[in-house]
Structure 1
Amino acid sequence: MAIREILEAPDPRLKTVSDPVETFDDDLKKLAEDMFETMYDAHGIGLAAIQVGEPVRLLVIDLQEEDPDAEPVPCDHDGHAHTHQPVINDPRVFVNPEILDPSEEMKAYQEGCLSVPEIFADVDRPARCRVRYQDLDGNPHEEEMDGMLAVCIQHEMDHLNGILFIDHLSRLKRNMALKKLKKMREAA
């Protein structure tokens, strides 16, 4: 496994429409493993292959919910002793995903993106959707999704079509976000 570089806006590769996966092999499994490692390293909950420069219809999601029933665990990962709730990992892989029957009911969520770091904005998306996808072995699946999983899958699927979450914003808000991102890069 390897941590890969995450492409950041305005990198033109992020506007690429990704190709369907046709070969389900060890290279695809390795790419998915690298994507999980990259996503966890960047503290994200979803990542599309194009974000690491691979224009294929593959995405990974792990909502990483805290386990409310677990005892807090001592931790000093950042050099400071403190406790945190253990996390329940639920890594999910979606190959060639398609959204079917999005609900007419819309819901706004504040979204962020590893390719647009430090920028957050409310985006309206269908509250529920049915998703057809394949797993890493090519087996077909279909699943109803709602809540954060529905938001995350729609956000990541946008990447597969060359769309960033800021593309859902007004031109003014999008330009402000890109200007803020440019200033942050210049300051670093």
Structure 2
Amino acid sequence: MRITKLGEEILRQVAVPVKEEEINDEFRKTIEEMFETMDAANGVGLAAPQVNINKRFFVLTADDDVRRVFVNPQIISTSSEMSDYEEGCLSIPKIYEVIKRPSKVTVQALDENGKKFTIEAEGLLARIIQHENDHLDGIVFIDRGDPEFAKETEETMKKRSKRYLEKIKAKEAKARKIAAKLAAKNK
């Protein structure tokens, strides 16, 4: 799975709920692929919009190494106590910012089998849940920090995207040139 990057439209869209009939073997296969993608990228959480799926679910593995799936999550309460933590995001690589969030959250969601659960989380688990849940609402972590830093980050990501597209075009042009030479040689 390809991880979407800041600047791609899907990261700013509000994701749509997963329907009960969509929770099936194919859905569970997608969940497994998301865990593999997250692990390969050394992440701790990955939301569906980050792999170009406009649905309300995410996967995570916190410091307890438990793999968790949250389908149609709802944060039903947060603590008044706040904590600061340096966050990063697989969709905004190599950029970090200290973000203030509630220290504890209570969440209701469905698991990958459609079974409802409630979890009270604190520490890193609470932070990951909030970060990934934000993705489902079209919010990225830089939106929760310094507005000037967010603006600079958006510009940085635009430049990265432009360079990436230029590299792809150059590779394609080179491949076409080689193919044309081979075709001419084989005549």
Would you call these one fold, judging by a TM-score over 0.5? yes
CA root-mean-square deviation: 1.6
Give 1:42's aligned amino acid: A
User: Hey, what does 1:6 align to over in structure 2?
Assistant: 3
User: Hey, what does 1:153 align to over in structure 2?
Assistant: 129
Between the aligned partners of 2:65 and 2:118, the Cα distance in structure 1 is: 21
What are the within-5 Å matches in structure 2 for residues 141-180 of structure 1? 141-180=117-156
Between the aligned partners of 2:143 and 2:5, the Cα distance in structure 1 is: 14
Between the aligned partners of 1:33 and 1:148, the Cα distance in structure 2 is: 22
Q: What is the TM-score normalised by the length of structure 1?
A: 0.81
Runs of 4+ in 1 over 6 A off after TM superposition: none
Between the aligned partners of 1:112 and 1:181, the Cα distance in structure 2 is: 14
Describe the superposition over 1:113-139 as per-residue Cα deviations: whole angstroms up to 9, x where unpaired.
000111000111110011101111111
8 Å Cα contact 1:9/1:115 also seen in 2:
yes
Give 1:134's aligned amino acid: L
8 Å Cα contact 1:112/1:120 also seen in 2:
yes
1:134 aligns with 2:131: no
8 Å Cα contact 2:76/2:107 also seen in 1:
yes
Q: For structure 1, which runs of at least 5 residues remain unmatched after alignment?
A: 66-87
User: Hey, what does 2:48 align to over in structure 1?
Assistant: 49
Higher helix share: 2
Q: For structure 2, which runs of at least 5 residues remain unmatched after alignment?
A: 168-187
What are the within-5 Å matches in structure 2 for residues 1-188 of structure 1? 4-22=1-19, 23-63=22-62, 65=63, 89-184=65-160, 186=163
Instruction: Please report how far the alpha carbon of residue 183 of structure 1 lies from its aligned counterpart in structure 2 after TM superposition.
Output: 4.5
Q: SS of 1:34's equivalent?
A: helix
Q: SS of 1:100's equivalent?
A: strand
The sequence identity of aligned pairs, in percent, is: 40
Instruction: Please report how far the alpha carbon of residue 184 of structure 1 lies from its aligned counterpart in structure 2 after TM superposition.
Output: 4.6
Q: Structure 2 vs 1, CA of residues 89 and 105 (structure 1 numbering), >3 Å: closer, same or farther?
A: closer
8 Å Cα contact 1:61/1:92 also seen in 2:
yes
Aligned length: 162
